[in-house]
Amino acid sequence: MAARRPQQQITTPAHPSFADLGVPDTLTRVLTATGVDRPFPIQAATLPDALAGRDVLGRGRTGSGKTYAFVLAVLTRLATTATPRRPGRPRALILAPTRELATQIDSVMAPLAQALSLRTMTVFGGVAARPQITGLRAGVDVLVACPGRLADHVQAGHAHLDAVEISVLDEADHMADLGFLPTVRRLLDLTPRGGQRLLFSATLDSGVDVLVRRFLTDPVVHSIDSPRSPVAAMTHHVLHVHAEDRFAVLVDLTAAPGRTVVFTRTKRGAKTLTRRLVAAGVAAVELHGNLAQGARTRNLKAFSDGTVRTLVATDIAARGIHVDDVALVVHADPPVEHKAYLHRSGRTARAGAAGTVVTLMTDTQAPEVRELTRKAGISATTTRLRPGDALLRELAPGERTLSAPPAVRPAPVRREAPSAPAGRGRRGGKATPATSTRSDSTTPTRSSSAGSARSAASSTGRSGVARSGGTQSGAARSGAAAFSARARPGGRGGGR
């Protein structure tokens, strides 16, 4: 029988302490040690019901503190029941849409779980399955998983969900957007019907409602804010620029102090833009779905620990990724729809901090950007400018720091082939002629700056971390035209 549809309940919580909400002293001490000493509204609203064993539907915009809301509830409940761990049978299941989010949830939870002698682990694709199988066999209290890889382990008999006491769906709307709902339904069907279920989401779209109706029993609904309610500490700017000026403006913004996240529409675009920024002297790394998991982890760590200040990403980083003190978000390519704009922008102005959001817009993009901001419900200041405009210093204050691009090594001299047919290589590794260059929407044009970009990218290692030091190069200027040619809406190579 389908669960009864919940009645919307808007809660305006007071400001109690974590202890007042029922969080045990063992966990409050860990929270205090990590600088978390006061609950956010979503935590204050949902924790009493979640700790009481109720099914909870929590809605709050990105950056509102949903992770601690369910992590504290799960750990406290498991510590209370104290059921022993069993091989291959987790006691709690947290489903997340992306690898980065799963890793982030586990990193938040790990010190709290350790204080309660609870074991956690993550399961997701892109890495070897054998260590995950070993961990599952050893027994785990809380399993944080992406649906696809967990389904593989279940099918292979390495994981069983019949002992799950609490199930959590994080970023449920994003799970729906990515097409994971069929797999999520199959997994939740394997958990006990009497188990507690918590669902957290930034929006409550129709896909999420399907999950609520099927799996939550008489849930308490806490909606802390409207999905379109503005973040008071976030300012929005649209910079109307000539196509040939886009890259130079972007270099100016990313060369400022502080962390910046730059969003592109495509994976190729993120890769190419990162190389160009590195060639121009900006310490930058990329994050997108074409990277191996090891590279994704290294690049995100480099951005988080301050090794580099600029992260160039697709929408894979628009949801759930939290890095402290992101001062600026730049939409190098305006997103296709308004929800993506809101989630991208939510990488800054998190947890009460201030932040700035900048969208680069050319003449041809003006209609779509106007429609985008209208649907997003935000008020943006639009300014037409050229590189060097004083407004850029206001949006990204501080002294610009650029490193010199690494020197380009001369290409090795190859002996001419005897008389091979044109366009055909020789077995054994004869290279494609140097004048042959792939032509697509994100490949650099044939110029000295393109060679510098390739050399700079190779010098950074697999993680793409730029070397520091030196002075400003001219690559920002020489790369402007090539970048603007690739930054048009649409194009090939989409995805994350």
Residue 32 falls within a domain, yes or no?
yes
- Residue 188's CATH number: 3.40.50.300
141 and 198 housed in the same domain: yes
**324 and 275 within one domain:** yes
Structural domain harbouring 367: 234-405+444-486
In a domain, 307, yes or no: yes
Nearest to 140 by CA among 192, 199, 84, 197: 84
| Alpha carbon distance 106, 122 (integer Å) | 7
Nearest CA to 314 out of 267, 244, 350 is that of: 267
Considering the domain architecture, whether residues 382 and 257 belong to the same structural domain is answered as yes
Strands (E) across 291-431 are located at 310-313, 326-331, 355-361, 381-384
Nearest to 62 by CA among 377, 334, 344: 344
Domain shared by 22 and 137, yes or no: yes
Element holding 2 (H helix, E strand): none
Amino acid making up residue 350: R
Q: Which of 486, 477, 488, 484 is nearest to 452 (CA)?
A: 477
Q: What pLDDT, on the 0 to 100 scale, is given for residue 233? A: 67
Q: Are residues 383 and 284 in the same domain?
A: yes
* Rounded Cα distance, 345 and 479, in Å: 26
Q: Domain check: are 265 and 189 in the same one?
A: no
Q: Are residues 143 and 257 in the same domain?
A: no
pLDDT of residue 340: 84
Domain boundary among 223, 249, 265: 223
The pLDDT score that the predictor gives to residue 362 is: 94
238 and 203 within one domain: no
User: What percent of the chain is helix, strand and coil (3-state, nearest 5)?
Assistant: 40, 15, 45
Q: What is the pTM of this model?
A: 0.61
Claim to verify: residue 190 and residue 248 sit in the same structural domain: no
Q: Provide the number of structural domains found in the chain.
A: 2
* Rounded Cα gap, residues 99 and 122, in angstroms: 9
Q: Position of tokens 């008020």?
A: 379
CA angle 170, 175, 179 (to 5 degrees): 165
The pLDDT value given to residue 466: 38
Residue 76 has what pLDDT?
Answer: 96
**214 and 363 part of one domain:** no
Residue 383: inside a domain: yes
Rounded Cα distance, 191 and 370, in Å: 45
The answer to whether 248 and 400 have CB atoms below 8 angstroms apart is: no
Q: Is residue 229 part of a domain?
A: no
Other C-beta atoms within 10 Å of 485: how many?
15
Total residue length of the chain: 496
Q: Does the residue 1 lie in any domain?
A: no
Of 192, 223, 254, the one marking the end of a domain is 223
HSE-CB at 312 with a 13 A cutoff on CA atoms is 31
Look at residue 442 in the predicted model and tell me its pLDDT. Answer: 34
Please check whether residues 26 and 127 belong to one and the same domain.
yes
317 assigned to some structural domain:
yes
Asked if the structure places residue 2 within a domain, the reply is no
- Given 176, 199, 223, the domain boundary residue is 223
Q: What is the 3-state secondary structure (H, E, C) of 192-234?
A: CCCCEEEEEECCCCHHHHHHHHHHCCCCEEEECCCCCCCCCCE
Q: Do the domain assignments include residue 465?
A: yes
Q: To the nearest 10°, the Cα dihedral for 320, 325, 331, 335?
A: 20
User: Quick one: 198 and 243 in the same domain?
Assistant: no
Mean pLDDT by runs of 10 across the 496 residues of the chain is 45 71 94 89 92 91 81 95 91 93 92 96 93 96 96 96 96 82 94 94 75 90 65 80 95 93 94 94 92 88 90 83 82 88 78 80 93 88 93 92 61 41 38 35 35 38 37 44 42 39
Q: In DSSP terms, which residues pair with 145 in a beta bridge?
A: 95, 123
